[in-house]
Amino acid sequence: MSRLIEALERHQKGATAPMGFGFQRAAQPERPPAMALVAASAKVDQVLQAAKLSDAVLFQSSGHAPSAASLKKLAEGAEEACWGVKSDQVAPEQLGSLKKQGCDFVVFSALDTQLDALKAEDFARVLVLPKGLTEEQAHTLESAPIDVIIAAEPITLPISLQALMDLATARWAVSKPYLQTLSGVPSVWELECLRDIGVDGVVLLTDAASPDALKTLHDRLREIPAKRPGKNDRAVALLPQMSSGASRRAVPESPDEDDDDDE
């Protein structure tokens, strides 16, 4: 399994406060941060430096494919870090070379990407959510060979209620793990709100952020309180979607049953 997927699952499981008496909770291992942290940069050196504070790092290639020199430098310097690459489009022949060099996930945005390029099971396939995607189109991603969804644009800071509502609408359209792009550092409360609408991780664009942004974000993610069991549970939002007509038919009215209860 992809290490990125493992990290997302680990953070998701640790986001809820454990139940039980105090001494039982004390015996639990340290709770992981509420969301996974991915650092992204177009500079290999910056990617490697960010690996110390991140669950994963992302090299954002400006072309269709990262250069062989960049990949070699990244592979040699990443050591045990979980790293991936972002390319405008992924070709099937790229995957074998990337895997040999230690790449864990691939981020792509082109919807005309060949399906053969998405066949590798040991990669995490991350799709940049296209702009203007309808709700019906988003639902089709449920069965598509995609493992993770990432927002195309960073959310504006400070976060408004409208922005949070728009993000929740996009997030709830699919049940795949969801990563939100950031160009700055939200407050602890804003990060908690992102977590509560179902954001599984954040991707900090370090090239656009301040030099200390990654460290600040790393620390703030650890300050988010655990979500109480049952609070804002997004399981309802991730149930198979139904049309409005189907929803109305889901619980049919039955006057006869009511009459039986009265007897």
Domains parsed from the chain with CATH numbers: 3-262 (3.20.20.70)
Structure tokens at 212: 């200390």
- What pTM did the predictor assign? 0.81
Q: What is the pLDDT of residue 29?
A: 56
Q: What is the pLDDT of residue 20?
A: 47
Calculate Rg over the CA atoms of the chain: 21
Q: How far does Cα 208 stand from its chain's mean position? A: 20
Average pLDDT over residues 169-195: 95
Q: What is the mean pLDDT of residues 104-110?
A: 91
Let me know if 143 is exposed, middle or buried by CB neighbors in 10 A (0-12, 13-18, 19+): exposed
Q: Name the E strands within 136-259.
A: 148-150, 178-182, 201-205
Q: What is the pLDDT of residues 56-66, one digit of tens each?
A: 999 987 666 77
d(CA 22, CA 20): 7
pLDDT at 105: 94
